[in-house]
Structure 1
Amino acid sequence: MEDFPCQLIRNFSIIAHIDHGKSTLADSASGQNKQVLDKLKVERERGITVKAQTATMIHEFYGQQHLLNLIDTPGHVDFAWEVARSLSACQGALLLVDATQGVQAQSISVFHVARERNIKIIPVLNKIDLPQADPERIANQMCSTFGLELADVLYVSAKTGRGVDQVLQAIADRIPPPKGDASSPLKALLFDSSYDRYRGVISLTSINSGVLRKGDKIASSHSRKRYEVVEVGIMHPEEVSTELLLPGQVGYFVCNMKESSEAHIGDTFYRQGEKVEPLEGFKPTRAMVYAGVFPVDSNDFLKLEESIKRLALTDRSVTIQRESSTALGQGCRLGFLGTLHMDVFRQRLEDEYDANVIITSPTVPYKIVYKDRVITISNPTDFPDVYESTHNVIEIQEPMVNATIIVPQEFLGEMMDLCSSHRGQNMDHRYLELAGAAGVDTAPRVILTAKLPLSEVVTDFFDSLKHRSSGYASFDYEDAGYEACNMKKMTFQLNGKPIDALAMIVHHSAIHDIGKLWAKKLKDVIPRHLFEVAIQAVVGSKVVARETISAMRKDVTAGLYGVSSYLSDSQHLTRQKEGKKKMKRIGSIELPQAAFFDVLSNKTK
């Protein structure tokens, strides 16, 4: 590692919209012909990147060996925090755009994040070998959208390897080297971590100054705890021990850190006795979507909780809090950055920890403004009822987002109608490219912007977007603060007994429609009993929807005919009727967990 001073190091990232070929280019650039950066099962099954990965490569330029540190970042909006963390350890980034799809919403969002950090951008056009590719038009589109020079655009095919050498050369020529002084006190920025059951926490770090060696005694600026470094190395692309890391280099260290909570992302480590000013960390993430996670078998709660904590070490944007439900028992309430983030976390729990879980409907955090205080709630069961809202609550506020939709012009009307039906406001649009311009076809694409309630986005919005645009629309959003709203708490009752796990927060305009929809769903999954079961959707004391499951009937008069009996048929039927009334009054109606899973997993269908 001593052969690579700062001037021979290049730290860069690859940023793009989902499915534009980031991981394929990363594997090709690192000299691999297989998926080495998309390591997770969920990534390979879905074909998307959900976890930032690091790989160190050695390439020769101008007769000298250079150290290239590559960080492959996710492309979906739900993993924007992974992108921000990756860029903190980089001085440059490849802005990758698919030559068949053009500029997409997430490309624009991540580009601005990189620009804010003064990161050198290298525009790269991928998939130029495909028959439907239009490199000239898309290159002009990139330059006009991002304010880049056409001469700076590189043309590659990550799948075939065409143009990859030119990309590597551009990295060496255009991206500035990191700055750092080996003689200065140690400053090591922790930007990611993982857990090994034998070695404890493995910390990914970027060395800002000083030297990190095996055997060093270091301390955390965040927790003040002290550790001894037992292993240092780089990801090449798997772990390779190097004994030390120098300024500008990116690698990992192991220091007998056993508790995952001690690995604070954005923390600065320094050598004991050499107190330093901490480096600028990361803005803490704010969960956008919450859901309850419960084990199918209530006896597995402790195992599930430990699995969630271990998994959250590799995804520090997840927030964790214990909760209990009358119907589902003990579980955890988790906060996520979006619904895809939630679904990926669930699949990782199942794939990596063999967990069998039920996830409740996603909800968003609401602010409840009382006369004397303001609280934020994410669990529908904590939402004030109608009486309390009328007498004690001044205002209820919901989170809003600024949404960006890029879509062909022919679907503009559908997208505006979609936004309107989801309570969209402040809608505006502009053309991404001018019709009839040189090198541009006559079917331009449009950027539609709108302000939407986050609660509308986390339900069926994305599925409807893809369906109504025939899959051509791309979608991105960013936080837009809170606004006053008219939301109500809806609960569901079985013969007058509430089901707390199915409580939800609904806008007043959709109360009757959602109440009817869910009542019908429950009717389909609840098994019949020997007595009648009433399913009611209730807002306050008002029933807004009702379905009834008829009782199972048995012919109690069968066998009476032809034999002597002191009871008449009518007496038998009367006795049965009285028995069913008693069963209905004292009988227990249990909603099977299979029914919970069926209803909750098909909420938006």
Structure 2
Amino acid sequence: MQAAMTDLSRIRNFSIVAHIDHGKSTLADRLIQLTGTVAERDMQEQILDAMDIERERGITIKANTVRIEYPAQDGETYILNLIDTPGHVDFAYEVSRSMQAVEGSLLVVDATQGVEAQTLANVYQAIDADHEIVPVLNKIDLPAAEPDRVKEQIEDVIGIDAQDAIEISAKTGLGIPDVLEAIVTRLPAPKGDRDAPLKAMLVDSYYDPYLGVVVLIRVIDGVVKKGDRVRMMKTGGTYQIDKLGVFRPKMQDIPELGPGEIGFLTASIKQVRDTRVGDTITHEKKQCQTALPGFKPSQPVVFCGLFPVDTNDFEDLRDAIEKLALNDASFSSEMETSAALGFGFRCGFLGLLHLEVIRDRLEREYDIDLITTAPSVIYHLHMKDGEVVELHNPADMPDQTLIDHVEEPRIKATILVPDEYLGDVLTLCHDRRGEQLDLTYAGTRAMVVYDLPLNEVVFDFYDRLKSVTKGYASFDYQMIGYRADNLVKMQILVNEEPVDALSIMVHRDRAEMRGRAMCEKLKELIPRHMFKIPIQAAIGGRVIARETIAALRKDVTAKCYGGDATRKKKLLEKQKAGKKKMRQFGKVEIPQSAFINALKMDS
């Protein structure tokens, strides 16, 4: 149990930012281990990555926090609040939120790979949040490490002084004591007034089956104690605090949280929607004057439909989505219905990896089998009567004659790539209708900036980029707005029936190529039936590509030995008529995997 009052100058709040796989979570492990926060017998790899899916994929998805006590060389004991953040572009929103709750950042850069696109994106968020930044070079024990080159690169590309960057190996523990000293000496202490009315920021919240909603808070001013009645300023709800504590990484109760401290509270909150991320928490009686600015709501970029395979699971799916949305503020959903799939939800994500992770979490944590429709982006339709309509799903596109023009979202993509793969990357971006904005060099690596249409990036741009550069390129993007282009809706007809889930928006110049590629792909993906199946791609009423899946045949003439040829003919005619009738009434079974695979473009 800690003393009732913690001196502000003894607190340091910081986050660890880096590109994917540069060693954030491993560094967090070493800091926890060296300070004895967790007993040796309980220590495990990536101790802060609590979800199974994080461990399997080896990535951090949720920002996690831990409180460490560190006896420094000056004889004082400091309280360090660490937030471990994700590195992947799809979880950048988690990073930006964590940044608001702390004053400093450790910038971890892999000494063998140097600065990557995500390093840039995350460090700019830290600079925007006014952080003091301490550069740390990790993996210094590897033979390929080039600390001097990477220090220069940090100075050239990011523009922060890296001469006194700390050289460490998070795997072996080399240099970790220097990191702890740097946190204490180089990062600022938080500011706050203990006697002011309570003002605390709601950083995150998640649903716990035993405690209800657990709320992660950062106290700015004032003191919060167990038993206090508090008010959420945005939602207006009032609650009595049942439990107050800190994560070390397991929950530990404490009697109060003062200014500058990060901890959690529970207050028998039943609904996750009552806790808005970025909300301000204050005392019910003695309220603070102004609320905190909160977080900008995240802008979903990719949309797709989630439908339960068994329509009876719809209520369970609704419940699961509500609980997940509480835990992941960057995920949005609304109800929708589809003729083929029944009731479901149209959900918005920050990218394809985000979509995959949410889908996996729904299937695992809530045990629901899902059908996912083709991902799409939001288009702006400018109608001839002057109205502007948002189109989330290409299947809902109104009649082409009513539309004046269509605008699509564009992004500014930053790609860092070794020189020898530059040609392949430029070709890939050009093939995806990109326009080059900039090309600069940092050492042997090129930094290319492209203006790209988002719908060309959504499906498999990242996979293609990784394969043409053998995994060496790194990629980051931000939305820059909408622009008109010659876009049309392409439908896929299977056995002359349109398949909603495969409708996509394409550029008119590329429609024929995309249509042909999708028909060929579906020919391989749809199993053969007893009747012939035509697969067609159409724009409006015009078919632009077609493939045919041959029928499975039974040899009806096997029992005719010799004899009259007209008998064989009669049997074959009868079979032909049967096939024709079957094709008229037959249902084509399209396997679930075909929906996503058909949309991936091959080179």
TM-score w.r.t. length of structure 2: 0.93
> Secondary structure of the residue that 1:521 maps to in structure 2?
helix
Residue in 2 that maps onto 1:26: 28
Q: RMSD value over aligned CA atoms?
A: 2.0
* Match of residue 360, structure 2, among 323, 338, 347: 347
Provide the rounded CA distance (Å) in 1 between the counterparts of 2:563 and 2:151.
93
Contact 1:201 1:258 in 2 (8 A): yes
Residue in 2 that maps onto 1:439: none
> Secondary structure of the residue that 1:30 maps to in structure 2?
helix
Shift of 1:243: 2.0
Provide the rounded CA distance (Å) in 2 between the counterparts of 1:395 and 1:445.
40
* 1:17-39 Cα distance to aligned partner (Å, 9 max, x none): 11100010011112265221111
* 1:86-111 Cα distance to aligned partner (Å, 9 max, x none): 00001000111000000111111111
Provide the rounded CA distance (Å) in 2 between the counterparts of 1:564 and 1:24.
81
Contact 2:415 2:447 in 1 (8 A): yes
* 1:163-207 Cα distance to aligned partner (Å, 9 max, x none): 111111111111111111121111111010110112211000000
> Secondary structure of the residue that 2:163 maps to in structure 1?
helix
Shift of 1:325: 2.3
Q: Which moved more, 1:216-225 or 1:491-500?
A: 491-500
Is residue 401 from structure 1 mapped to residue 403 from structure 2 by the alignment?
Answer: no
Provide the rounded CA distance (Å) in 2 between the counterparts of 1:191 and 1:496.
52
Provide the rounded CA distance (Å) in 1 between the counterparts of 2:528 and 2:105.
60
Is residue 77 from structure 1 mapped to residue 89 from structure 2 by the alignment?
Answer: yes
Q: Which moved more, 1:245-254 or 1:491-500?
A: 491-500
* 1:21-75 Cα distance to aligned partner (Å, 9 max, x none): 0010011112265221111112111111111000000112222221110000011
* Superposition map of 1:432-511 within 5 A: 432-433=442-443, 444-511=444-511
- Identity, in percent, stands at 44
| Closer, same or farther: CA 344–602 of 1 in aligned 2, 3 Å | farther
- Large movers: runs of 4+ above 6 Å: 562-565
Is residue 415 from structure 1 mapped to residue 421 from structure 2 by the alignment?
Answer: no
| Closer, same or farther: CA 149–558 of 1 in aligned 2, 3 Å | closer
Provide the rounded CA distance (Å) in 2 between the counterparts of 1:87 and 1:280.
14
Contact 1:156 1:164 in 2 (8 A): yes
Q: Which moved more, 1:35-44 or 1:290-299?
A: 290-299
* 1:142-165 Cα distance to aligned partner (Å, 9 max, x none): 122222234331111111111111
* Superposition map of 1:2-81 within 5 A: 2-31=4-33, 33-34=43-44, 35-61=46-72, 62-81=74-93
> Secondary structure of the residue that 1:151 maps to in structure 2?
coil
Provide the rounded CA distance (Å) in 2 between the counterparts of 1:11 and 1:98.
23
Is residue 319 from structure 1 mapped to residue 317 from structure 2 by the alignment?
Answer: no
Provide the rounded CA distance (Å) in 1 between the counterparts of 2:354 and 2:434.
23
Is residue 583 from structure 1 mapped to residue 596 from structure 2 by the alignment?
Answer: no
Residue in 1 that maps onto 2:374: 361
Contact 1:521 1:599 in 2 (8 A): no
Shift of 1:299: 2.5
> Secondary structure of the residue that 1:257 maps to in structure 2?
coil
Is residue 372 from structure 1 mapped to residue 386 from structure 2 by the alignment?
Answer: yes
* Superposition map of 1:533-544 within 5 A: 533-544=533-544
Provide the rounded CA distance (Å) in 1 between the counterparts of 2:492 and 2:510.
16
Shift of 1:365: 1.0
Q: Which moved more, 1:300-309 or 1:465-474?
A: 300-309
Q: Unaligned regions of 5+ residues in structure 2, if any?
A: none
Shift of 1:275: 3.1
Contact 2:373 2:595 in 1 (8 A): no
Q: How many residues align?
A: 587
| Closer, same or farther: CA 465–568 of 1 in aligned 2, 3 Å | closer
Letter in 1 for 2:435: Q
Is residue 111 from structure 1 mapped to residue 123 from structure 2 by the alignment?
Answer: yes
* Match of residue 261, structure 1, among 263, 270, 273: 273
Q: Unaligned regions of 5+ residues in structure 1, if any?
A: 434-443
Residue in 1 that maps onto 2:594: 598
* Match of residue 298, structure 1, among 287, 311, 316: 311
* 1:443-496 Cα distance to aligned partner (Å, 9 max, x none): x11111111111111122111211211221111111111111222111122232
> Secondary structure of the residue that 2:183 maps to in structure 1?
helix
* Match of residue 212, structure 1, among 224, 232, 240: 224
Provide the rounded CA distance (Å) in 2 between the counterparts of 1:306 and 1:588.
36
Letter in 2 for 1:603: L
Contact 2:529 2:588 in 1 (8 A): no
> Secondary structure of the residue that 2:150 maps to in structure 1?
helix
Provide the rounded CA distance (Å) in 2 between the counterparts of 1:395 and 1:210.
55
Shift of 1:509: 2.2
| Closer, same or farther: CA 449–525 of 1 in aligned 2, 3 Å | closer
Residue in 2 that maps onto 1:522: 522
Provide the rounded CA distance (Å) in 2 between the counterparts of 1:478 and 1:527.
40
Provide the rounded CA distance (Å) in 1 between the counterparts of 2:177 and 2:511.
59
Is residue 155 from structure 1 mapped to residue 167 from structure 2 by the alignment?
Answer: yes
Letter in 2 for 1:537: A
| Closer, same or farther: CA 530–143 of 1 in aligned 2, 3 Å | closer
Provide the rounded CA distance (Å) in 2 between the counterparts of 1:485 and 1:558.
59
Q: Which moved more, 1:185-194 or 1:299-308?
A: 299-308
* Match of residue 283, structure 1, among 277, 296, 301: 296
Provide the rounded CA distance (Å) in 2 between the counterparts of 1:521 and 1:327.
21
Contact 2:200 2:281 in 1 (8 A): yes
Provide the rounded CA distance (Å) in 2 between the counterparts of 1:452 and 1:584.
43
Letter in 2 for 1:76: H
